[in-house]
């Protein structure tokens, strides 16, 4: 999306080397979302729309605060409201700021066939480059969090950029800046991890949330967005946050064994046929056996 | 096609009518385009194909449309040829003698009709793969238009589409090899429509007997 002055460590659909690979000096950046102090005010949603200049779209009303069921191509950051009944019968609101998780091993990037349509910077941000996107939708099949969305008019896919443009200038993402309760933090991954763990410990020790913990799923190589959850054993409660997300097996099968098998079979087939021809040649030579007089009529 | 008219002057035999040839080339030309653009999306090493074929986004836009034409032409082949493609006892014997066929000892083969068993296999292979490619392709094309659209179905479609395409690529390579290199004269049959009597006798003796026999008998 943005023209940031960052080095790149992974490129989708790319043959050959990647300019920024293994040149890392920058730290991996990370957004920390403390769901336990989120009040669902949607300031971050507005900040995202403002900074990224996204048009306002229609909302739906279903007697809840949920203005739309999921993120859209032009709505990258959405608070998911979940009512949860605790064991003692009391009601609890679990609110989660939903957006791209900026996976360490992004399934979207693995699935994308277009050279340079999805890139991962050395600081960990996963960014879509719409100029290179061909609109095939493969990234949608690769994402375990159902994040990339297609613009139906332009057939290009959009999602949260983690404000690459701001981050590359040393600023925090717009959502972070807007949060009134301070439940959003931004910094280098190690620091955020430490902060998150200390907050989770606090919740366990003093606030009667014995299962409080940090969500940083290893199945996708850790994420550039981590959550503090009241109950880290049940992330599904927070609007279907997958417990153990990983790049879908179908994408792994397709980009792994199937690709290898296919390539070997195609190249092997070509070589095989060529050698067959060298060994056996044509079944008959036209001049000798088959050319019997001038061409006849046609239909 | 009435048989008598298949014997042409100058020792030629009519093998494919104009309608058959046009159908063949509608399928052939669209297949080549689908193959080029499809392979571009298959491997980063071949992505340049999409650039060469008019641009990456253009390839993505046109691939499904070419797919529709391909689907339609293969379907029409089914309409025209399915009755001739049924598996017979001769075909079973043909498969058993495959090693003679593949080593150019055609005299040891059971006599083939208009289509030999390998050609029938090619036909049915393309027919079924075409169905799979069409269903998965339509789904990949515009999943948002299906009420039952789901990520799971899309993930399966990608796999099915790629696997079916690979299967056709295998068929296609052999098809080209036979038609262009191994059986000299076969390529002309889908261009001009005719083959020499020598070709017919050599590769499709049962078929030749059929038409020659009918040509000799009085018109009904
Ligand atoms: C029958 C109608 C067909 C339709 C509607 C269709 C549609 C599609 C669509 C929508 C895609 C996703 C990317 C793109 O749009 O380019 C695709 C990919 C592809 N298609 Fe087709 N297609 C059809 C037939 C074929 C045929 C006959 C081939 C044979 C070579 C083929 C080979 C491929 C390949 C290799 C890919 C890429 C798969 C991958 O990336 O793993 N398609 N097709
Ligand atoms: S739709 Fe997604 S997978 Fe396809 S080219 Fe665009 S970014 Fe890549
Ligand atoms: S959450 Fe989805 S879109 Fe974001 S980096 Fe991970 S796989 Fe890609």
CA atoms of A242 and A178, how far apart (whole Å): 27
Both tokens assigned to B143: 């999943």
Provide the residue range defining the domain that includes A139: 8-246
For the ranges A136-140, B71-75, B145-149, the lowest mean pLDDT is seen at B145-149
Indicate the number of domains in chain A: 2
CA atoms of B52 and B59, how far apart (whole Å): 10
Q: Provide, rounded to the nearest whole percent, the portion of chain A with pLDDT above 70.
A: 92
Mean pLDDT, all residues of chain A: 90
Nearest-CA residue for ligand 2 atom 4 is A136
Side-chain half-sphere CA neighbours of A191 within 13 A: 9
What's the pLDDT at B219? 44
> Token pair 């659909």 is at which residue?
A13
> B216 falls in which pLDDT band (50, 70, 90)?
low
Both tokens assigned to B133: 């490619």
DSSP states of B14-29: E-S-HHHHHHHHHHHH
CA atoms of A62 and A163, how far apart (whole Å): 31
Does A103 lie in the same domain as A26? yes
What's the pLDDT at A293? 38
CB of A182 closer than 8 Å to CB of A244:
no
Question: What confidence tens digit (pLDDT) does each residue in A249-281 have?
Answer: 999 999 999 999 999 999 999 999 999 999 999
| A70: pLDDT strictly greater than 80 | yes
Q: Provide, rounded to the nearest whole percent, the portion of chain B with pLDDT above 70.
A: 92
* Average pLDDT of span A200-219: 96
Paired with A95 in beta bridges are A81
Residue A188 belongs to a domain with what CATH number? 3.30.70.20
Picking from A13, A280, A290, the nearest residue to B104 by CB comes out as: A280
Both tokens assigned to B54: 């008019």
Both tokens assigned to B157: 């479609």
* pTM (predicted TM-score): 0.89
Does A271 lie in the same domain as A148? no
Q: What is the Å distance from ligand 1's center to B84 Cα?
A: 29
Q: Is the CB of B2 inside 8 Å of chain A's CB atoms?
A: no
Query: Is A298 within the bounds of a domain?
Result: no
Whether ligand 1 lies within 6 angstroms of the CB of B6 is answered as no
Cα–Cα distances (Å) from B85 to A131, A283, B19, B91, B159, in that order, read 48, 23, 18, 10, 29
Does A264 lie in the same domain as A133? no
| A89: pLDDT strictly greater than 70 | yes
More confident position, B143 or B185: B185
Query: Is A228 within the bounds of a domain?
Result: yes
CB of A159 closer than 8 Å to CB of A148:
yes
Q: A283 vs B182: CB contact, 8 Å cut-off? A: yes
What's the pLDDT at A26? 64
Instruction: Please report the sign of the dihedral spanned by the C-alpha atoms of residue B127, residue A266, residue B101, residue B185.
Output: positive
Q: What is the Å distance from ligand 1's center to B167 Cα?
A: 13
What's the pLDDT at A17? 87
Picking from A113, A141, A290, the nearest residue to B41 by CB comes out as: A113
Query: Is A3 within the bounds of a domain?
Result: no
Does A258 lie in the same domain as A242? no
| B5: pLDDT strictly greater than 90 | no
Does A152 lie in the same domain as A56? yes
Phi-psi region of A42 (alpha: psi -120 to 50; beta: other; left: phi over 0): left
Does A235 lie in the same domain as A125? yes
Query: Is A74 within the bounds of a domain?
Result: yes
Q: What is the Å distance from ligand 2's center to A137 Cα?
A: 5
Which chain B residue's Cα is nearest to A117? B56
Does A235 lie in the same domain as A275? no
Whether ligand 2 lies within 6 angstroms of the CB of A128 is answered as yes
* Average pLDDT of span B194-200: 90
CA atoms of A205 and A212, how far apart (whole Å): 10
Contacts of B57 in chain A (CB under 8 A): 134-135, 155
What's the pLDDT at A292? 42
CA atoms of A88 and B51, how far apart (whole Å): 62
> A106 falls in which pLDDT band (50, 70, 90)?
very high
Task: State the closest ligand 2 atom to the C-alpha of A128, by its place in the atom list counted from 1.
Answer: 7
Does A190 lie in the same domain as A270? no
CA atoms of B33 and A286, how far apart (whole Å): 30
Paired with A96 in beta bridges are A80
> B3 falls in which pLDDT band (50, 70, 90)?
low
Does A187 lie in the same domain as A137? yes
DSSP states of A78-124: EEEEEEEE-TTS-EEEEEEEE----BSS-HHHHH--STTSEEEETTS
How many H-runs (helices) and E-runs (strands) does chain B carry? 10, 3
Query: Is A66 within the bounds of a domain?
Result: yes
Q: Is the CB of B166 inside 8 Å of chain A's CB atoms?
A: yes
What's the pLDDT at A116? 95
Question: What confidence tens digit (pLDDT) does each residue in A170-194 have?
Answer: 899 999 999 999 999 999 999 999 9
* Average pLDDT of span A121-138: 95
Q: Provide, rounded to the nearest whole percent, the portion of chain B with pLDDT above 90.
A: 70
CATH numbers and ranges of domains, chain B: 1-16+90-220 (1.20.950.20), 18-84 (no CATH)
Q: Which helix (H) or strand (E) holds A196?
A: helix A189-206
Query: Is A296 within the bounds of a domain?
Result: no
| A49: pLDDT strictly greater than 80 | yes
Q: In what order do the strands lie in the sheet with A8-11?
A: A8-11, A118-121, A126-128
Does A266 lie in the same domain as A127? no
What's the pLDDT at B58? 95
Q: Provide, rounded to the nearest whole percent, the portion of chain A with pLDDT above 90.
A: 78
Picking from B14, B56, B169, the nearest residue to A299 by CB comes out as: B14
Query: Is A2 within the bounds of a domain?
Result: no
Both tokens assigned to B191: 């261009």
Cα–Cα distances (Å) from B91 to A271, A285, B32, B167, in that order, read 28, 26, 29, 22
What's the pLDDT at A87? 86
Both tokens assigned to B220: 């009904």
Q: 6-25 in A: which are within 8 Å (CB) of B?
A: 13-15
| B47: pLDDT strictly greater than 90 | yes
Nearest-CA residue for ligand 3 atom 2 is A143
> Token pair 């529709």 is at which residue?
B68
What's the pLDDT at B148? 61
Does A276 lie in the same domain as A129? no
CA atoms of B118 and B101, how far apart (whole Å): 10
Question: What confidence tens digit (pLDDT) does each residue in A163-174 have?
Answer: 999 998 889 999
For the ranges A97-106, A257-266, A274-283, B147-156, the lowest mean pLDDT is seen at B147-156
What's the pLDDT at B9? 79
Residue A256 belongs to a domain with what CATH number? 1.20.5
Query: Is A299 within the bounds of a domain?
Result: no
Does A152 lie in the same domain as A268? no
What's the pLDDT at A291? 46
| B22: pLDDT strictly greater than 90 | yes
* Average pLDDT of span B99-120: 91
CA atoms of B64 and B137, how far apart (whole Å): 7
Whether ligand 2 lies within 6 angstroms of the CB of A114 is answered as yes
Q: A289 vs B194: CB contact, 8 Å cut-off? A: no
Q: Is the CB of A70 inside 8 Å of chain B's CB atoms?
A: no
């Amino acid at each position: 999306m943005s023209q940031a002055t960052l080095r790149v460590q992974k490129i989708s659909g790319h043959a050959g080397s990647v300019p920024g690979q293994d040149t890392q000096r920058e730290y991996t950046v990370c957004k920390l979302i403390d769901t336990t102090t989120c009040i669902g005010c949607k300031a971050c949603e507005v900040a995202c729309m403002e900074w990224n200049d996204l048009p306002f779209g229609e909302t739906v009303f279903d007697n809840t605060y949920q203005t739309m069921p999921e993120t859209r191509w032009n709505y990258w950051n959405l608070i998911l409201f979940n009512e949860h009944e605790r064991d003692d019968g009391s009601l609890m609101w679990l609110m989660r700021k939903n957006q791209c998780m900026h996976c360490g091993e992004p399934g979207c990037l693995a699935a994308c066939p277009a050279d340079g349509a999805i890139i991962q910077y050395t600081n960990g941000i996963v960014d879509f480059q719409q100029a290179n996107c061909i609109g095939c939708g493969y990234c949608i099949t690769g994402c375990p969090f159902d994040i990339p969305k297609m613009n139906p008019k332009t057939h290009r896919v959009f999602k949260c950029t983690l404000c690459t443009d701001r981050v590359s200038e040393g600023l925090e993402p717009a959502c972070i800046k807007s949060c009134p309760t301070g439940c959003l933090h931004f910094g280098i991954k190690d620091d955020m991890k430490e902060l998150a763990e200390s907050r989770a410990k606090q919740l366990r020790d003093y606030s009667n949330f014995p299962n409080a913990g940090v969500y940083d799923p290893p199945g996708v190589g850790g994420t550039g967005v981590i959550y503090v959850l009241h109950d880290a054993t049940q992330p599904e409660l927070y609007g279907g946050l997958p417990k153990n997300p990983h790049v879908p097996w179908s994408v792994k099968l397709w980009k792994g064994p199937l690709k290898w098998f296919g390539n070997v079979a195609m190249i092997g087939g070509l070589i095989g046929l060529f050698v067959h021809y060298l060994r056996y040649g044509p079944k008959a030579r036209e001049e000798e056996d088959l050319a019997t007089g001038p061409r006849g009529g046609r239909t | 096609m009435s048989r008598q008219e298949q014997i042409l002057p100058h020792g030629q035999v009519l093998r494919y009518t104009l309608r058959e040839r046009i159908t063949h080339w509608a399928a052939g030309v669209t297949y080549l385009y689908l193959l080029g653009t499809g392979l571009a999306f298959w491997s980063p090493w071949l992505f340049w194909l999409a650039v060469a074929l008019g641009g990456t986004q253009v390839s993505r836009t046109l691939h499904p449309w070419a797919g529709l034409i391909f689907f339609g032409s293969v379907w029409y082949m089914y309409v025209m040829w399915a009755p001739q493609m049924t598996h017979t006892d001769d075909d079973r014997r043909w498969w058993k003698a495959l090693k003679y066929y593949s080593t150019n000892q055609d005299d040891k083969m059971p006599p083939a009709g208009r289509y030999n068993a390998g050609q029938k296999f090619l036909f049915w292979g393309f027919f079924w793969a075409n169905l799979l490619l069409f269903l998965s392709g339509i789904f990949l094309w515009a999943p948002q238009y299906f009420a039952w659209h789901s990520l799971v179905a899309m993930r399966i479609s990608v796999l099915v589409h790629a696997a079916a395409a690979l299967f056709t690529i295998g068929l296609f390579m052999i098809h080209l090899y036979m038609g262009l290199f191994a059986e000299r004269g076969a390529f002309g049959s889908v261009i001009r429509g005719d083959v020499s009597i020598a070709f017919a006798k050599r590769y499709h003796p049962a078929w030749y007997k059929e038409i020659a026999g009918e040509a000799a008998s009085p018109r009904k």
